Amino acid sequence: MKLLNIKSIIVVALIFYSTFSVVAQNEKETKFKDLMPKKGDFGVSLIITGLTDNINLESFSNDYGQNILFAKYYLKDDLALRTGFGLSINRFKREQADSSGLNLIERDSLISSARMNVSIGIEKHLSTSNRLDPYIFAQIDLTFIGKTTTESETRNISQVGTSSVVREIREDGGIAFGFQAGGGFNYFIASRFSVGTELALRLLAVSQGGTTSDNTTNTSINGNITTNFMSSENIVNNTNLNVQPVALLNLSYFF
């Protein structure tokens, strides 16, 4: 009779232990799942660069080096849309003045260019393990390269008067197509906040150039004007296939 009671106690204890273990495991899994983004969530990511004494946060770059604003939108709990946009407007102006004998030589120059980037891709998340969230992805980058304009003016100022040379060079832009596929993971250190890394195989095809026009206008001291116009064609096509040289370390936050 006593032996039967002992067996009953052991069986009851094992049932309680199994029940509490399953409950604790479910609570743990639920807790970790609460850290992860879900359908309808939106997140932004930044790249961590530098060493321990010089850490910087930068925006993502596509295969052509164009910095982009980068975000993810979760279509499902395990499927995210990757989107990026970038706009770069460059304008460099320089003014110089030198003396040459009794004359004053003034030189003004201006270089301007612009680029715009659009990126879109898909990200499939695999089975999560505690705080670790691995995924695979594919992404397309399109960079529209605007015209590059170089303007310069040189003025020779003397007691007699002023002569000048004005030159304008316009170079056609082009387009860059990038495709990358790879994998990565997020490690959630807090709710909706993760640190992660990615590695990808990248394809880049660039077609840049076209018509280059060069227009020079000479104005003499007495006001006579002569012009010289030249035009040429120069197109460069380049295709590269490589592996991203280093794994990118990134920070992400989801809303």
59 pLDDT more than 90: no
pLDDT: which is higher, 113 or 56? 113
Q: In this structure, are 18 and 117 located in the same domain?
A: no
Q: In this structure, are 204 and 130 located in the same domain?
A: yes
**133 Cβ contact list (under 8 Å, min separation 6):** 36, 125, 185, 186, 187, 188, 194, 196
For residue 200, what are the domain limits? Answer: 39-254
Q: In this structure, are 68 and 97 located in the same domain?
A: yes
Both tokens of residue 237?
A: 């096509």
Q: In this structure, are 43 and 15 located in the same domain?
A: no
pLDDT in tens, 166-192: 999 999 999 999 999 999 989 888 888
Q: In this structure, are 61 and 168 located in the same domain?
A: yes
Chain-centre distance for alpha carbon 165: 40
Q: In this structure, are 123 and 24 located in the same domain?
A: no
pLDDT averaged over every residue in the chain: 83
Percent of the chain with pLDDT over 90: 49
In the chain, the number of structural domains is 2
Q: In this structure, are 8 and 65 located in the same domain?
A: no
Quick one: pLDDT at residue 141?
92
**CA distance readout (Å), 47 to 8, 112, 125, 246:** 60, 28, 20, 12
Q: In this structure, are 22 and 110 located in the same domain?
A: no
Question: What φ, ψ does residue 206 adopt, rounded to 5°?
Answer: -125, 130
Which pLDDT band, with edges at 50, 70 and 90, does 53 fall under?
low
Average pLDDT over residues 61-77: 84
Q: In this structure, are 126 and 9 located in the same domain?
A: no
Which pLDDT band, with edges at 50, 70 and 90, does 15 fall under?
very low
pLDDT in tens, 90-127: 999 999 988 877 889 999 999 999 999 999 999 999 97
Q: In this structure, are 23 and 127 located in the same domain?
A: no
28 pLDDT more than 60: no
**Alpha carbon distance 69, 47 (integer Å):** 11
pLDDT in tens, 119-156: 999 999 997 777 889 999 999 999 999 999 999 999 99
Chain-centre distance for alpha carbon 66: 6
Q: In this structure, are 117 and 219 located in the same domain?
A: yes
Q: Strands 193-219 and 42-49, how do they pair?
A: unpaired
Q: In this structure, are 184 and 59 located in the same domain?
A: yes
26 pLDDT more than 90: no
| 122-147 core/surface letters (b: 16 or more CB in 10 A; e: else) | ebebeebeeeebbbebebbbebebbe
CATH number of the domain to which 234 belongs: 2.40.160
**93 Cβ contact list (under 8 Å, min separation 6):** 108, 109, 110, 111
**Alpha carbon distance 244, 139 (integer Å):** 14
